[in-house]
Amino acid sequence: MAEKSKDQMTLKELQMQELRESYGIEPEEEINTPTYTKARNAQKEKNAKIAALYDDIAEYEENLKGFEVELEIVNEHPLKDIATALREKFPNEERDYDKELSTVLEAGWTQLVEEAQSHPKEQLELIRQTEFSDVAEMLKAQYPEHAGDFEAEIRAILAKRWEILIETIKEHIKEEKYDMKIRGLKPDYVEGVYKKYHGIE
């Protein structure tokens, strides 16, 4: 059916047309035409391709947020409670936080023993044999003469690991955005298309 002219429309019809126009909604006849449908599908396909360019960044950004929260937990909780706090914060993560923390600590302490040569090898052996939640107390008990603060040293090793992860991800995001600029695309524009395509506010 042909669209009515304005002088043939009722007040209600005029108001509805103005409302549609204010929101950029096409008249029903135009929306359902093959030409309009083809153009709309082409735009969707274009948006899908542009949105796909942001997929890696979106994943990096999600990981970044997670690691930043983990770093806060590492810095703010008593050492013996860190693994529990991580499990409570990320219940859906299939990670063994106790083992992960022990592995990070062992790697960091190995550097203190072998590279810095500031700590005895026996401390490293004790760390390997002890549950992470007990390690600070065990070191204090076995080495009461130690001039430093075991808890502070352990926390510094953990924090450094998470800080490196965070900086690495930030660098990956920068590289991805730089690649977009090389392609002649603005990262903010690509992000906007990605969020609109996926219905993200």
- b/e map 42-80, b = 16+ CB within 10 Å: eeeeeeeebbebbeebbebeebbeebeebbebbeeeebe
Domain count, the chain: 2
* Mean pLDDT to the nearest integer, 64-85: 97
| 84 and 159 co-located in one domain | yes
Give the domain range for residue 155: 55-198
| 162 and 82 co-located in one domain | yes
Most confident of the following: 27-31, 41-45, 112-116: 112-116
Residue 110: CB atoms within 10 A of its CB come to 15
| 20 and 81 co-located in one domain | no
Q: What is the mean pLDDT of the chain?
A: 87
Instruction: Return the pLDDT at 46.
Output: 84
1 has pLDDT over 50? no
pTM score? 0.76
| 42 and 94 co-located in one domain | no
Instruction: Return the pLDDT at 43.
Output: 75
| 112 and 169 co-located in one domain | yes
Domain for residue 170, yes or no? yes
31 has pLDDT over 80? no
20 has pLDDT over 80? no
Higher pLDDT, 21 or 163: 163
| 47 and 61 co-located in one domain | no
